[in-house]
């Protein structure tokens, strides 16, 4: 089953961390730790998600994007709400 939000997250992550094996990334692993993202990489990731999905992500919610699973759950809820 294709999950368009998960696919979008993986595409954006691939742009920020092109050397990462995203298929092996566990859903509960810290994106920053597993992919060695610094704060600028993480900000690029958030901006990329906004561009691809059209979802506003306030800075207060950045912690909800810390894992792949959390990121997908957060974004799916926001996409369904349309904001």
Q: Which runs of consecutive H residues, i.e. helices, occur in the chain?
A: 4-16, 31-34, 39-53, 68-81
As to burial, measured by CB atoms within 10 angstroms (0-12 exposed, 13-18 middle, 19+ buried), residue 1 is exposed
pLDDT at 7 exceeding the cut of 70: yes
pLDDT at 83 exceeding the cut of 60: no
pLDDT over 90, % of the chain: 88
Long-range contacts from 7-11, C-beta under 8 angstroms, 24+ separation: 8/49, 8/52, 8/53, 8/75, 9/49, 9/68, 9/71, 9/72, 9/75, 11/52
pTM higher than the cut 0.95: no
For residue range 31-58, what is the model confidence (pLDDT) as tens digits?
Answer: 999 999 999 999 999 999 999 999 999 9
Q: Which CATH number fits domain 4-16+29-81: 1.10.1200.10, 3.30.420.40, 3.40.50.720, 1.10.10.60?
A: 1.10.1200.10
pLDDT at 59: 96
Q: How do the domains of the chain map onto residue ranges?
A: 4-16+29-81
pLDDT-derived band at 80, boundaries 50, 70, 90: confident
């Amino acid at each position: 089953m294709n999950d368009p939000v998960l696919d979008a997250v993986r595409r954006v992550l691939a742009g920020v961390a092109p050397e990462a094996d995203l298929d092996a990334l566990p859903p509960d692993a810290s994106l920053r730790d597993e992919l060695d993202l610094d704060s600028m990489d993480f900000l690029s990731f958030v901006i990329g998600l906004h561009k691809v999905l059209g979802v506003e992500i306030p800075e207060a919610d950045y912690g909800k994007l810390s894992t792949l699973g959390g990121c997908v759950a957060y974004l799916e809820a926001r996409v369904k709400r349309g904001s």
